[in-house]
Amino acid sequence: MDLKKLADQYKDELLDNVLPFWLEHSQDHEHGGYFTCLDRKGNVFDTDKFIWLQGREVWLFSMLYNKVEKRQEWLDCAIQGGEFLKKYGHDGNYNWYFSLDRTGRPLVEPYNIFSYTFAVMAFGQLSLATGNQEYADIAMKTFDIVLSKTNNPKGKWNKLYPGTRDLKNFALPMILCNLAMEIEHLLDKGCLEKTMEVCIHEVMEVFYRPELGGIIVENVLANGELSDSFEGRQVTPGHDIEAMWFIMDLGKRLNRPDLIEKAKNITLTMLDYGWDKEFGGIYYFMDRKGCPPQQLEWDQKLWWVHIETLISLLKGYQLTGDKQCLDWFEKVHEYTWSHFKDNEYPEWYGYLNRRGEVLLPLKGGKWKGCFHVPRGLYQCWQILEDINLVARNENKNS
């Protein structure tokens, strides 16, 4: 592969295709915030606003403003979304709703912990972009609530009967791995280090199961033991592989090559485990015992799963030099670009059936917004640029 050409491919797709789509079609200039339910051409087909996706878009444009270029249109987009979230997204005590109507009236109670985590990401990056202390305070107050809810993320909205099968889920420690790095500029050293170590332990010691061949399970019992139930047998390859690039970032930050190596190896294990050997692509859900999964969409191929895999493979190659990562990257890259990219209209498809055919032509909805595609394009572009820079310097010195 020509890594210089690949870097340009990811950069151009981000700057010339994906970002203009969201800037043009998602901003609600009348009421604030963003539309995310966008059809193939970018037309709005539903005006409800989902806090996950509002926060993610604030984060995305703030991050690009901070790390790529001080474009005023990016900052303006982030600020207007942040102001909408600040005004309408929570109950006044930073309990973040799940969804709002177009004007900002709450539709669904604040039961979902990830509304909180993406609010933290959003206001953390927005505070960096603007220097606004109010945004930093919102991020920290919300982060404190997240930490207080780790043992019971849904709180009073938890529908499970207590004491019979108490499960804990992989998603929260996984996201906290990334969240701690996102707001490092706001955390004191002790809190940061404690959060990092707890997350690394949970992800790499509790949910990672060497006795199952080195896979990660989505749910375990509260005492860390395996559960022989639908939830306890669930494996979500995309979640697991995405978490591994978070862990690699932590390994680099903490100067722990052993952690990076382990995360790289888990990436390769999970990818081989989750790859559809007949039709290509990565399964959405699997059952660790080979039983029928409870999710009817188990064999769908989703955009975020493949994009996050590309990031983890490139980081694995960059940080360890393992050529298996590059070989797999070439395979996943080819599948992703040939199946998810829409060659006629901007942005990417999100949902394919097992055979790789488009199931829904939407570009955004209740779960897909301005996040995984642009973040993945940015990450891959930056990693490829770094790999190319190292190669150029080595050639100069040889």
For residue range 67-124, what is the model confidence (pLDDT) as tens digits? 999 999 999 999 999 999 999 999 999 999 999 999 999 999 999 999 999 999 999 9
pTM as predicted: 0.97
Which range is least confidently modeled, 6-10, 15-19, 159-163, 202-206? 159-163
Give the list of residues 6+ apart from residue 98 with CB closer than 8 angstroms, or none: 50, 51, 52, 107, 108, 109, 110, 111, 112, 115
| H or E element in which residue 60 lies | helix 51-67
Average pLDDT of the residues in 283-307? 98
Segment 291-315 mean pLDDT: 98
Tell me the mean pLDDT in the region 41-63: 98
| 198's tokens | 């707890």
- Give mean pLDDT, residues 311-333: 98
CA distance 237 to 269: 10
Q: How confident is the model at residue 346 (pLDDT cuts 50, 70, 90)?
A: very high
Please write the tens of the pLDDT for every residue from 113-154.
999 999 999 999 999 999 999 999 999 999 999 999 988 898
Contact 265, 214 (CB under 8 A): yes
Residue 354's pLDDT is 98
Residue for token pair 């996950």: 52
Mean residue pLDDT across the chain: 97
pLDDT class for 394, splitting at 50, 70, 90? confident
Domains of the chain listed by start with CATH number: 30-158 (1.50.10.20)
Looking at residue 151, its pLDDT comes to: 86
- Looking at this protein, which amino acid is placed at residue 70? K
In angstroms, the Cα distances linking 134 to 108, 124, 126 are 26, 10, 10
Query: In the 8-state DSSP scheme, what is residue 351?
Result: E
Q: Which residues of 282-304 are buried (b: 16+ CB within 10 A; e: fewer)?
A: bbbbbbbeeeebeeeebbbbbbb
The token duo for 79 is 């600020």
Residues 242, 244, 249, 250, CA torsion sign: positive
Query: For 137, which DSSP code?
Result: H
Percentage, residues of the chain above pLDDT 70: 100
Mean pLDDT of 219-236: 97
Kind and range of the H or E element at 37? strand 37-38
% helix, strand, coil for the chain, step of 5: 55, 10, 30
Phi, psi of 106 (to 5 degrees): -65, 140
Which positions ≥6 away from 381 have C-beta within 8 Å? 7, 10, 11, 14
Closest CA to 149 of 165, 166, 173: 173
- Rounded CA-CA distance 268/157 in Å is 37
pLDDT at 392: 87
